[in-house]
Structure 1
């Protein structure tokens, strides 16, 4: 199994910095609450006296969404949505210990982090690319629709879309749950300094996985135009 960004996405969005992580042996039994609170506290500290809409990381994704023809205040990248919820409610949702860890790290660094059940992705390729209009996307309620041609999505070899509007919303089909044992994590940044942020995000998630799932063996890679692919087994 391989993960990559298409050449068209990379050429169209040259400011993209990206990284990927794979791990196995995860479950829903670990308690990541301590790490979640620590990463969340970092995000709360950044939000003191300002809003997420002022963060350079969020502004860069807003510009990207605008370039895709989307209203940035209607369709927000995942990290902006988490930070907005955190500012308003004071906490992040608790879903699954792996998801909770990734969400907290996403909020702490203000960049999107997607975590997918690797066994729900059709081999041999998951690619961030422009949709053809033939892909099918399943939301968290089980409803199925098709991303419009040209929309940036995570598409696998079976034509399943695992995200809508790039970093706006993931698919319920590959959502991490009690059945999940193998994961693929992807983080993407568009701001100045993104190339420095991405490794920090990967390291934070890998450290959390090693601490709570010692046998998870997280593997990470920073993806670049010269090294664009990540092999995550399968």
Structure 2
């Protein structure tokens, strides 16, 4: 079954250039990070350095467009960076990219290599459909604070992804919640690639992601859905 994704009219008005591509996969086999997934992250960092040259991540035109979108809904992009910019900064730092698990490593590598925000959700943990909306401020956001389970709430007007139980990702793609994140036990997943420009490379990135998922999980059923513009 295909998971339904919708973008609210308020978000469309805020960011007319927003587009997204969904990659749905079933029958995945996840596990701890390994040499192969670690190599993908190292290669992604190399590709990022080649792409940026002397630029800092936030100076890339696509990242600049994301910063404009964050500013439009009241976030401070230098404090709460979109996920691609945050990962890119880590990729260029001495410590490099974190190793989480094979599936997360794969989509993080795609995000860094293409400088595109990419998220992964366990579809077995999603309640109903997923919606990109401007928050009321009352929605629950399960997270971890100080090593303990906690429930936060987004700011009123903040752009969030949510399902029928609450927020799954705050500030568009800044921080994912714990409820739907991919764990080593995840077998069915939705990967969401997000763009703020018509030629930011979403389709190429989605095709590469699908190829990698089939490689790390032979036998998985992977479907790439067509790009969707916010104004569509």
Q: Is the TM value for this pair above 0.5?
A: yes
Query: How far has the Cα of 1:192 moved from its partner?
Result: 5.1
- Contact 2:74/2:158 (<8 A) preserved: no
Q: Distance in 1 between matches of 2:95 and 2:197?
A: 26
Q: Where does residue 6 of structure 1 map in the other structure? A: 8
Gaps of 5+ in 1: 229-234
Say if 1:140 and 1:173, in contact at 8 Å, map to a contact too: no
2:228 maps to 224
Deviations 1:49-96 (A, max 9, x none): 221121111111111111111211011000000011111226210001
User: Which whole-Å deviations, capped at 9, do the CAs of 1:11-49 have from their partners, x for residues lacking one?
Assistant: 321111211111022221674334333333211323442
The partner residue of 2:157 within 144, 150, 154 is 150
Name 2:89's counterpart in structure 1: 84
Question: How many Å separate the matches in 2 of 1:86 and 1:72?
Answer: 18
Q: Which runs of 5+ in 2 are unaligned?
A: none
Shift of 1:167: 1.5
- Structure 2 counterpart of 1:63, from 65, 68, 79: 68
Choose which of 175, 178, 189 in structure 1 pairs with 2:195: 189
Question: Paired residue for 2:43, among 32, 38, 41?
Answer: 38
For residue 215 of structure 1, what is the aligned residue in structure 2? 219
Counterpart contact for 1:126–1:156, Cα < 8 Å: yes
**Does structure 2 retain, via aligned residues, the 8 Å contact 1:56–1:191?**
no
Q: How does 1:27-176 map to 2 (within 5 A)?
A: 27-28=30-31, 31-89=36-94, 91-123=96-128, 125-141=129-145, 142-158=149-165, 160-176=166-182
1:214 & 1:6 partners in 2: Cα distance?
36
**TM-score, normalization: structure 2?**
0.89
Could you state the TM-score of these two structures normalised by the residue count of structure 1? Answer: 0.88
Report whether the alignment pairs 1:178 with 2:184.
yes
Q: Which moved more, 1:130-139 or 1:198-207?
A: 130-139
| Contact in 2 for aligned 1:40/1:105 (Cα 8 Å) | no
CA offset at residue 227 of structure 1?
9.6
**Do the aligned partners of 1:131 and 1:147 also contact (CA within 8 Å) in 2?**
yes
Query: In 2, Cα distance between the equivalents of 1:12 and 1:71?
Result: 16
CA distance in 2, matches of 1:94, 1:75: 22
Following superposition, the deviation at residue 104 of structure 1 comes to 1.1
Name the SS of the counterpart of 1:143 in structure 2: strand
Equivalenced residues, count: 224
